[in-house]
Structure 1
Amino acid sequence: MDWSRAKTVFIITFLIMDIFLAYQIFNQRSKNTYDLIQDTPIDQQLKADNIKIETELPLKPTKESYVEADAMRFSDGELAILPDQTIDVLNDTMVKSQLIKPYPLKKDWKKADVDNFVANYVYKGSQYGFYQYNKENHTIMYYQLYDGKMLYKNTSGQIEITLNDKNEIISYTQTMLDGIKKISEQDIITSHEAMTILYNKGSIDSGSSITNVVLGYYTLVPIKSSQLLAPTWCFTIDNKRDYFVNAVEGHVLNEEEEIVK
């Protein structure tokens, strides 16, 4: 065997491998920058696209924890004190309520009016926050809160209220998470960095406005009886569309049109 020639082949092979690995590392590092724009400041690009920021971008927190929780199992005794309604519990985890007498809302009702109903007619209703009013479906959605933050789009921690065509509440369903606790504190990206991600993804249209930015939680790993939730930035665009950005990994999560009152 020609060892000199073999050595040359090995050197060339390892050199090619080093170049390939360097490319992979560079490519991965580029992905892990959360698509931040480096050449032109994001504020200039927003201005050029006539995108307005009509709210304060939160500067804190800079650290936040994942959250784990279990599905709440309701008991008849806990629900017996709720007034003026008949209640069924489905699979121990969902309350289905029918009001004996419709609860009237004003024609120009405000969120506070529904908050009052939820606080007085729903089990631990004060632990939920208003999220969405859907005029087409005649429904109002509340999501559970933890540590003052909303558990967005969480079907295991929500109240869905149904109205009739007279703006009267006639029924609702409720699910709830229990045993909620923080685990594994992490550094998180700033709201400004999350905004840059959304812009780079093309999620913020020219001429639109960022009308609200708040930190909450979004389900990361859904399991039948328990789940893991990640700290998540929620951006509201033009008061009608919400976008969610994982505050640890920088991923853009699901979004959909929202009709919010």
Structure 2
Amino acid sequence: MDWGRVKNVLIYAFLLLNLVLGYQLWNDLREQVDSNLDIASLENNIQKAMDDKQIRVLAKIPSDTPELPKIAYRIVNGEQGGKMINLQTTVDSKLIFAPRDLASALKTSLPDIGNYRYDEAASSSSVFVLHPLVDGKWPLFKIDLRLYNSNQKIISYRLQAIEVSQLQQEKPQRVLSASKALGNLIENFLPVGSVVTEVELGYYGEVFDSDAHLPAAPAWRFMLESGKEYYVQGINGDVISPNTEKAKE
């Protein structure tokens, strides 16, 4: 046995291990710094309220405040809406993480699926939830396409198809910052010990049994580790509670 060669191999292996561990440590420290910077964007009184209520924010707090208009949407598939439909050909459930491949596999049954985005926070092991996108970017929360999974195959779906339009004479407005929306939640709505795991901007809509056009406004969605969700209207700051489903000042 060539002990010199074995020794060199062991040295290189330890060096490689140290590099991997060093990179992991650096990445963890960078994420911690980024998290601290996010929290620093909150006002001092909000940070104090976080400490007092033992609230943690694990999600990145977006800094962008785009100008968005209110929109209108209408249910277009009538009585067929909301019915579970079996797929003629099942699809590998792993494709949910590959949007282009998923759209290609389901284009016959769901030709518009390319305009939907997977919502991991709202999904489970048996049901994948997707939301339609406004302008190809902003999810319309509460309006769902549900893909049902069994034995690692997508076997059926449930869809409430909609048609989106712009409200007449409705001008885009600058949305409330995520930090201000979160601050309001922390001070007035979140229970003690809450852990915020996701912050995302989209539109808030509800499904009603109506053929009329329904309004939807930009809204920040805040997901908690407990599974509860809060929505903050992006224009006037109203909060929609998951318990009452009513807007509050």
TM-score interval, smaller chain: 0.5 to 0.7
More helix as a share of residues: 2
Q: Note if 1:49 corresponds to 2:34.
A: no
Alignment of 1:64-75 (within 5 A): 64-73=68-77
What does residue 58 of structure 1 align with?
A: 62
SS in 2 for 1:41: helix
More strand as a share of residues: 1
Q: Is the 8 A contact 2:146 2:158 kept in 1?
A: yes
Instruction: Give distance in 2, aligned partners of 1:49 and 1:94.
Output: 40
Aligned residues: 192
Q: Note if 1:198 corresponds to 2:198.
A: no
Q: Is the 8 A contact 1:143 1:159 kept in 2?
A: yes
Q: What TM-score does the superposition give when structure 2 sets the normalisation length?
A: 0.65
What does residue 215 of structure 2 align with?
A: 228
What does residue 170 of structure 1 align with?
A: 155
What does residue 140 of structure 1 align with?
A: 128
Instruction: Give distance in 2, aligned partners of 1:110 and 1:120.
Output: 9
> C-alpha offsets along residues 99-151 of structure 1, whole Å, 9 cap, x if unaligned?
2343333xxx474157733453122111011123234xx32211111131110
Q: What TM-score does the superposition give when structure 1 sets the normalisation length?
A: 0.62
Q: Is the 8 A contact 1:219 1:229 kept in 2?
A: yes
Instruction: Give distance in 2, aligned partners of 1:59 and 1:192.
Output: 8
Identity among equivalent pairs (%): 17
SS in 2 for 1:230: strand
Quickly say closer, same or farther: Cα 1:93–1:111, change in 2 above 3 A. closer
The one-letter amino acid paired with 1:72 is V
Structure 2: gaps of 5 or more residues: 1-42, 244-249
Structure 1: gaps of 5 or more residues: 1-38, 74-89, 257-261
SS in 2 for 1:224: coil
CA-CA distance at 1:236 after TM superposition? 1.7
Instruction: Give distance in 1, aligned partners of 2:60 and 2:111.
Output: 34
CA-CA distance at 1:62 after TM superposition? 5.4
SS in 2 for 1:142: strand
Instruction: Give distance in 1, aligned partners of 2:134 and 2:89.
Output: 32
Picking from 159, 166, 170, the partner of 1:181 is 166
